[in-house]
Amino acid sequence: MNVKKQNIDDLVLLTIVDKDANLTKSENFKEIVFKEIESGTRKLIISFEHVEYLDSSFLGALVAILKNLVPKNGRLILIELDNDIRNLFELTRLDKIFELKNSLETAIEDFK
Amino acid sequence: MNRIILLVDDDIFQLRLFEKLLTSNGYNCKIALSVDEAESILQSETPDLIVSDYEMPGKDGFEFRRRLLKEDSFKNIPFLFLTSVNDKDNVQQGLDLKAIDYIAKNTPPSHILSKIDNLLQAVREHYERSLSEIKGIAERLNLRNIPKKAPELKQFKIDYFNQSFQNQPGGDFIDFIQTNERYTFVILGDVMGKKWGAWFFSFSFLSYIRSAIRLCVYDENYSLSEILNKLNRVIHDDELLSDIFSTLSIVLLDDELGTVMYAGAGDLPILKFEEETMELHQFKSDGILLGFSEFGDYNEMEIKLDVDEELYMISDGMIDFELNGKKKSDINLFKEKLFNFKQNKERIQTIKDRLFDKHVSQVDDCSIIIIKKV
């Protein structure tokens, strides 16, 4: 799984570099983020800038990440989801669970 | 679907030669000039076979193989060594590293091709045999996540179809629970994930669903909202399922009054084709995925269904499409197809055949339940 990490003050931005976020990458991605949370990160932004398709395994991994982070008083914002993926989130009420923002700037502003 | 072969060699001429041979025979090749490049490709692609040279500057083929053997996701990818150094020591060292075989670079192209064809065929057959054994065991244990037939009711006719992805079991599950002559629960769920992992957990979810329904019915409680709320709490508290999530649609058919109730958890909307107005309507539940939060706040709704009208319950595989090599999830595309079938007054069997047409690219297992009022 190609993930680019960037620290912005006390925030961690993880950008998924792959176009296709699917089963073969979901476990590896979950491990990367769980390690990030274990190391103390509580303010997390995941960017889907490059992602064109998200399968249900990867969605499951995202839900597991959020479920792990919330009891630790952490917060996760997902940014730059393309229209199809955003529609899928809305269609299946995942927008009730996740915070979705259009850009990195609005996500950072929201964390302040 | 074209099988992917990862070719690793520092000799670009050799790589291009191999690539040409294999692509012109239906394989999809990824090429890497070094082990580092190969490992970077493996981050985003899982090939069906890796063919690698022994001798390369930097990390050599043996080191590459050793590194792959340490990674669970890569260690079982069939691996062939390719070499011009056809000496016994190198061959033995390669085979000791669980490489399936080796190919000498001076082997005639037709032999190389046959070797690769035969190897991939043998891997496929081995996989099919194991799959069929496991399916046989599951069958004997009566572990079934798709029932053999739908119940026959007076006021409703139920049809259902499920298609696995690449002949592998998946996370979709269907059940019909007829508690008495009057009430039948129709269940469609989808464990998030694919293949074996999702398939395995679908039985845990099914057991909980069956128990929750039975326990509520013993108390004469037919409220879908209460059933879902209870079910969600149990699943939320089950540590084994703490990382596993499922969508669920439950429809309760009352065969005496002819009514239809519906509640859902993170599921796709139920669709209804209205004969009179010739419109396709969508009913969206408000519940979130089972098990995410202790209190899910699940509500039920009644769906009015007149004689000859149909309801469609679908899993997410039905709205996943691959167009021009690009995958996408699009319910509107599905609705458009369904609407056209209905407008042309196609029969249920034809609709099913067309939706599951093997020429329509499929990226996940998919299920549809069609409930018709008769």
Answer with the residue of higher pLDDT: B362 or B246: B246
Query: Taking CB atoms and an 8 Å limit, are A97 and B329 in contact across chains?
Result: no
Query: Taking CB atoms and an 8 Å limit, are A91 and B364 in contact across chains?
Result: no
Q: Does residue A97 sit at the B interface (CB-CB below 8 Å)?
A: yes
Residue of A nearest to B269 (CA): A91
- Which two three-digit tokens encode residue B84? 């011009």
Percent of chain A predicted with pLDDT > 90: 70
CA distance A31 to B239: 18
- Which two three-digit tokens encode residue B148? 């053999």
Residue B36 CB neighbours (<10 A): 11
Contacting residues of A for B244, CB less than 8 Å apart: 60
- Strands, E assignment, chain B: 4-8, 28-32, 49-53, 79-83, 101-104, 156-163, 172-178, 183-191, 246-254, 259-265, 270-274, 279-283, 301-302, 310-314, 320-323, 326-329, 366-373
- Which two three-digit tokens encode residue B8? 């690793």
> What's the confidence (pLDDT) of residue A76?
97
Query: Taking CB atoms and an 8 Å limit, are A56 and B327 in contact across chains?
Result: no
- Which two three-digit tokens encode residue A77? 């914002």
Q: What is the average pLDDT across B11-35? A: 92
Is residue A77 predicted with pLDDT exceeding 90?
yes
Confidence of residue B128 (pLDDT cuts 50, 70, 90): confident
Mean pLDDT, rounded, of chain B? 88
> Do residues B316 and A58 touch, judged by C-beta distance below 8 A?
no
Residues in chain A, overall count: 112
CA distances (Å), origin B158, targets B44, B152, B176, B262, B303: 42, 8, 10, 15, 16
Residue of A nearest to B198 (CA): A57
CA distance A48 to B278: 39
- Which two three-digit tokens encode residue A65? 């990440």
CA distance B292 to B162: 26
Confidence of residue B229 (pLDDT cuts 50, 70, 90): very high
pTM: 0.80
Residue of B nearest to A22 (CA): B193
Is residue B363 predicted with pLDDT exceeding 80?
no
Q: Does residue B266 sit at the A interface (CB-CB below 8 Å)?
A: yes
> What's the confidence (pLDDT) of residue A55?
86
Distance from CA of B343 to the nearest CA of A (A): 25
Interface probe for A, chosen from B37, B43, B73 (most Cβ of A below 10 Å), is B43
Distance from CA of B317 to the nearest CA of A (A): 9
Among the residue ranges A24-38, B96-110, B121-135, B215-229, the one predicted with the least confidence is: B96-110
ipTM summary value: 0.88
Among all chains, which residue has been given the structure tokens 């997390």? A44
- Which two three-digit tokens encode residue A28? 């590896």
Domains along the sequence of chain A with CATH = 3-102 (3.30.750.24)
> Do residues B329 and B318 touch, judged by C-beta distance below 8 A?
no
Establish how many alpha carbons lie within 13 A of residue B4's alpha carbon, considering only the half-sphere containing its beta carbon.
Answer: 11
Sign of CA dihedral A30, A33, A38, A42: negative
Residue A41 CB neighbours (<10 A): 19
Q: Does residue B237 sit at the A interface (CB-CB below 8 Å)?
A: no
B35-72: per-residue pLDDT in tens? 999 998 988 788 999 999 888 888 988 899 999 998 88
Q: Does residue B297 sit at the A interface (CB-CB below 8 Å)?
A: no
Q: Does residue A40 sit at the B interface (CB-CB below 8 Å)?
A: no
Is residue B234 predicted with pLDDT exceeding 80?
yes
Answer with the residue of higher pLDDT: A2 or B11: B11
